[in-house]
Amino acid sequence: MKIGLRFSNFALYGLVTVLATGWSFAGPTPRATVRGRLVHKNGTPAAGILVTVSNQQSARSAPAHTGVKGMYYLPNITPGKDYLEIWINPGGKPLIYQVDVVAPSTDLPQITVP
């Protein structure tokens, strides 16, 4: 008695794809909250300043504004090497700082702005 296996082209393509790329059971990408504080050169809190985080693929976070104490909170950030963008002048270019974001939260050191 001869037993043979038969694969459709679709099944064979799927098998080759899994073998070539590997099978991953990883869950969703973890997210992080980025927190920090901005102050002016004289030490007073920098309130009302727009802050965002972007990554190397040019994806930008939802914007946040600093509060009365100069604090900002940016939720739902993908961990990795990202860029903190501080928009002092809304029509101008941001101040940019490279940051390493880790889940579940990343507290950045206080930053002095003009």
Q: What is the pLDDT of residue 27?
A: 62
Residue 18 within any structural domain of the chain: no
**Exposed (0-12), middle (13-18) or buried (19+): which is 55, by Cβ within 10 Å?**
middle
Distance CA 53, CA 84 (A): 5
pLDDT of residue 30: 85
3-state secondary structure of 91: coil
Residues of the chain with pLDDT under 70: 1-27, 58
Distance CA 98, CA 51 (A): 13
Its domain, for residue 46, covers 32-113
pLDDT digits (tens, 9 = 90+) for 83-109: 999 999 878 999 999 999 999 999 999
Which CATH number do you get for residue 93? Answer: 2.60.40.10
Domain membership flag for residue 12: no
